[in-house]
Amino acid sequence: GQQLNQSPQSMFIQEGEDVSMNCTSSSIFNTWLWYKQDPGEGPVLLIALYKAGELTSNGRLTAQFGITRKDSFLNISASIPSDVGIYFCAGQNTDKLIFGTGTRLQVFP
Amino acid sequence: DAEITQSPRHKITETGRQVTLACHQTWNHNNMFWYRQDLGHGLRLIHYSYGVQDTNKGEVSDGYSVSRSNTEDLPLTLESAASSQTSVYFCASSIGPSNEQFFGPGTRLTVL
């Protein structure tokens, strides 16, 4: 089945650093979503993007919908320990989500 | 507060047994989805429903079935559990086809 290419697969950073991750696809999407998953929990929606070129922020998180509609980026500024988890991108056309393979983020104090 | 719940949270069963995982949402969402999550594969869609009496196959539907008799519930049944179905299962719902999906806490299923 189709999957999105998400990179990097994992990141180990120090508290206070900024983080960037991205997602690319061979297909175009009408919506891009970013989720975070904590251990033992379900994914939680962080940001939703609906228009090519759109830049949206949610606190320290900023995400962009790529102009080509085939990619999206998520940035986390001034990371804190509770940012630890797995971040998933998802592309959506009509009803179904296609998920990326995830970026595992570790934050060290 | 409206929410989406799954039960059980953990389940161990034997090969060949029938297993049903429950999903219940109180948002009155029309759309409900079942995914499985495995290392190296991310989240893959098993079945989904757009409303009562509607069910559709997803990417990895073999060995699974769902039924939608009311808006709130979409139980997932494994007719004859196989070891390859050991996974973490997530239910999700959305208000409409193009709207964001909200996920339940997951069920960890082990088939011995």
Please give, rounded to a whole number of angstroms, the shortest distance from the CA of A86 to a CA of chain B. Answer: 11
Query: What is the C-alpha separation between B67 and B78, in angstroms, rounded?
Result: 12
When computed from its CA atoms, the radius of gyration of chain B, rounded to whole angstroms, is: 13
- Binning pLDDT at 50, 70 and 90, where does residue B100 land? confident
pLDDT (tens digit per residue) in A29-81: 999 999 999 988 999 999 999 999 999 999 999 999 999 999 999 999 999 99
Q: Which residues of A touch B90 (CB under 8 A)?
A: 42-43
Query: What is the C-alpha separation between B95 and B32, in angstroms, rounded?
Result: 9
Tell me whether residues B90 and A48 touch, CB distance under 8 A.
no
Query: What is the C-alpha separation between A87 and A83, in angstroms, rounded?
Result: 10
Interface of B with A in 7-36 (CB under 8 A): 31
Q: Which residues of B touch A87 (CB under 8 A)?
A: none
Grouping H, G, I as helix, E, B as strand and the rest as coil, residue A81 is helix
- Sign of the Cα torsion A50, A55, A58, A60 reads positive
pLDDT (tens digit per residue) in B65-75: 999 999 999 99
